[in-house]
A and B are shown apart, each in its own frame.
Chain A
Amino acid sequence: MKLKKSWLTLILALSFVLVLAACGGDENADAQEDNSSAENNDNNSNDANDGNDNNGDDNAENNDNDGNNDAADGEPVSGGTINAGMYSAPGQQFNPIFYGDAYEANILDFTHEALVTQDENLEYIPLLAKDWELNEDQTELTYYLEEDVKWHDGEPFTAEDVYFTYSSIASGEYVAAGGVRIDYVRFLEGYEEYRDGETDEFAGVEVVDDHTVIFHFAEPNVTPEFRTSFPIIPAHVFEGVSVADMVDHPASRNPGEVIGTGPFQLTDMIEGEQYILTAFEDYWQGTPHLDGITWRVIEQSIMPGMLENGELDMVAEPNGVPAADFDRVDGLDNVKTFTTQDFGYQYMGFKHHHRTAEDVEAGVINPDNWVPNEKVADVRVRQAIVYALNRQAMVDGLMNGLGSVLHAPFPEASWAYDESAFTVYEQNVEKANELLDEAGYVDVTGDGFREDPDGNEWVLNLDYPTGNEIRERTAPIIAAELGEVGIKVDVRNPREAATHFEVVEDDNTDWDLYLAGWSLATGDPDPAGIWKSDNPFNYLRWNDPHSDELIEQAVKAPEAFELDYRAEVYNEWTAYVTEQVPMVFLYSSDNIYAYNAALQNVHERPTGIYFRSHEWWLAE
Chain B
Amino acid sequence: MHKYIIRRILQFIPMLILVTIVVFGLAKAAPGDVLSGERLDPNIPAEVYEMRREALGLNDPIHIQYWNWVTTVASGDFGTSMQYSGRPVADLIASRIMNTVYLSLFALGVTLAIAIPIGIYSASRKYSLFDYGATTFAFLGLATPNFFAGLLAIYIFAFILGWFPSQGSVSAPGLSGIELFLDKLRHLVLPGFTLGLASTAMYMRYMRTEMLEVKGSDFIRTAQAKGLSNNSVLYKHTLRNALIPIITLLGLEFGTLLSGAIITERVFNYPGLGQLFLTSITNRDYPVIMAINLILAVTILVGNLLADIFYAIVDPRIRYD
Shortest distance in angstroms between A496's beta carbon and chain B's nearest beta carbon?
6
B148 interfacial by beta-carbon distance below 8 Å:
yes
Q: How far is the CA of A428 from the CA of B45 in the complex (A)?
A: 39
Q: Is the CB of A502 within 8 A of B267?
A: no
Q: Is the CB of B83 within 8 A of A183?
A: no
Task: Please choose the segment from B12-20, B153-161, B220-228 that sits at the chain A interface, where 4 or more of its residues have CB less than 8 A away.
Answer: B153-161
A272 interfacial by beta-carbon distance below 8 Å:
yes
Q: How far is the CA of A577 from the CA of B56 in the complex (A)?
A: 38
Q: How far is the CA of A14 from the CA of B150 in the complex (A)?
A: 13
B136 interfacial by beta-carbon distance below 8 Å:
no
Contacts of A99 in B (CB 8 A): 85
State which of B41, B160, B172, B279 has its C-beta within 8 Å of the C-beta of A22.
Answer: B160
A71 interfacial by beta-carbon distance below 8 Å:
no
Specify which of A183, A268, A302 lies most central, judged by the most chain B CB atoms within 10 Å of its CB.
A302
B61 interfacial by beta-carbon distance below 8 Å:
no
Contacts of A298 in B (CB 8 A): 167, 269
State which of A10, A98, A272, A501 has its C-beta within 8 Å of the C-beta of B275.
Answer: A272
Cβ proximity bits A269-306 to B, threshold 8 Å, 1 near / 0 not: 11111101000000000000000000011110110011
B37 interfacial by beta-carbon distance below 8 Å:
yes
Q: How far is the CA of A176 from the CA of B56 in the complex (A)?
A: 8
Query: Quick one: closest B residue to A301, CB to CB?
Result: B151
Q: How far is the CA of A91 from the CA of B95 in the complex (A)?
A: 13
Cβ proximity bits B74-100 to A, threshold 8 Å, 1 near / 0 not: 000000000111110000000110000
Knowing A175-B48, A180-B44, A274-B173 touch, does A496 contact B31 (C-beta < 8 A)?
yes
State which of A89, A247, A363, A519 has its C-beta within 8 Å of the C-beta of B42.
Answer: A519
Q: How far is the CA of A239 from the CA of B297 in the complex (A)?
A: 44
CB contacts under 8 Å to B, within A474-523, are 496-499, 501-502, 517-519, 521, 523
A76 interfacial by beta-carbon distance below 8 Å:
no
Q: Is the CB of A176 within 8 A of B55?
A: yes
Shortest distance in angstroms between B249's beta carbon and chain A's nearest beta carbon?
27
How many chain B residues sit at the interface, stated as a range, is 35 or more
Q: Is the CB of A521 within 8 A of B43?
A: yes
Q: Is the CB of A529 within 8 A of B271?
A: no
Shortest distance in angstroms between A192's beta carbon and chain B's nearest beta carbon?
13
Query: Quick one: closest A residue to B285, CB to CB?
Result: A91
Q: Is the CB of B87 within 8 A of A529?
A: no
CB contacts under 8 Å to B, within A1-30, are 1, 7, 10-11, 14-15, 18, 22
B216 interfacial by beta-carbon distance below 8 Å:
no
Contacts of B95 in A (CB 8 A): 271-272
Shortest distance in angstroms between B180's beta carbon and chain A's nearest beta carbon?
11
Interface SS majority for chain B: loop
Specify which of A15, A272, A501 lies most central, judged by the most chain B CB atoms within 10 Å of its CB.
A272
Knowing A100-B83, A498-B31 touch, does A521 contact B166 (C-beta < 8 A)?
no
CB contacts under 8 Å to B, within A222-274, are 247-248, 253, 268-274
Contacts of A180 in B (CB 8 A): 44, 48-49, 52
B38 interfacial by beta-carbon distance below 8 Å:
yes
Q: Is the CB of A529 within 8 A of B38?
A: no
Q: Is the CB of A498 within 8 A of B282?
A: no
Specify which of B32, B43, B282 lies most central, judged by the most chain A CB atoms within 10 Å of its CB.
B43
A46 interfacial by beta-carbon distance below 8 Å:
no
Contacts of B266 in A (CB 8 A): 299
Q: Is the CB of A530 within 8 A of B268?
A: no
CB contacts under 8 Å to A, within B143-186, are 145, 147-148, 151-152, 154-155, 159-160, 166-170, 172-174
CB contacts under 8 Å to B, within A341-363, are 363
Q: Is the CB of B44 within 8 A of A268?
A: no
Q: How far is the CA of A276 from the CA of B168 in the complex (A)?
A: 14
Shortest distance in angstroms between A227's beta carbon and chain B's nearest beta carbon?
11
Shortest distance in angstroms between A298's beta carbon and chain B's nearest beta carbon?
5
Contacts of B151 in A (CB 8 A): 11, 14-15, 301-302
Query: Quick one: closest B residue to A18, CB to CB?
Result: B155
Q: How far is the CA of A616 from the CA of B249 in the complex (A)?
A: 56
Q: Which residues of A contact B (CB under 8 A)?
A: 1, 7, 10-11, 14-15, 18, 22, 88-89, 91-93, 98-100, 175-178, 180-183, 186, 247-248, 253, 268-274, 276, 296-299, 301-302, 305-306, 309, 311, 363, 467, 496-499, 501-502, 517-519, 521, 523, 529-530, 535-537
Q: Which residues of B contact A (CB under 8 A)?
A: 30-33, 36-38, 40-46, 48-52, 55, 83-87, 95-96, 145, 147-148, 151-152, 154-155, 159-160, 166-170, 172-174, 266-269, 271, 275, 279, 282, 284
CB<8 Å pairs between A and B, sample of 15: A15-B155, A92-B87, A93-B85, A180-B49, A248-B86, A270-B170, A272-B275, A298-B269, A302-B151, A305-B154, A501-B37, A502-B31, A519-B41, A521-B42, A529-B42
